Amino acid sequence: KDSNRILLDAHVKWLQTRGSVPDVAGEDLFSSSASVCELRKVIIAAKEKLQRFREISNPREKFLYRYYQDTLRKRNQMDFEDMITLAVEIFQRSSDALAYFQKLYKYCFVDEYQDTN
């Protein structure tokens, strides 16, 4: 996945700023220092803090979040969490958009609801 590669790149950049990049190449770096799952949890936690208008005080969290979001923005991409958040924001900001989709669809089925936040 492209977003996983961005997370891993962000982690490497963070380690480089700290002067602590292990002397291994490729994916081996992450087996010992961080997993994609752990990095994704950091990003999700940062997004949740920002949604509650709280500051991200942890320097690593802040760095990873900014790098990840900036890279997605530069590539004109978004991740799963952003797709959900953007849809909710559009409906909250535009009563016309909400009314349009409420008229178009009587029901909305959410598969894998446990994967939403």
Render pLDDT for 19-61 as a digit per residue (tens, 0 to 9). 665 544 444 444 444 576 777 777 787 887 777 767 778 888 8
pLDDT at residue 18 greater than cutoff 70: yes
Task: Name the pLDDT band for 77 (thresholds 50, 70, 90).
Answer: confident
CB 47 within 8 A of CB 40: no
Q: Which residues contact 2 (CB under 8 A, 6 or more apart)?
A: 75, 77
pLDDT at residue 78 greater than cutoff 50: yes
pTM above the 0.75 mark? no
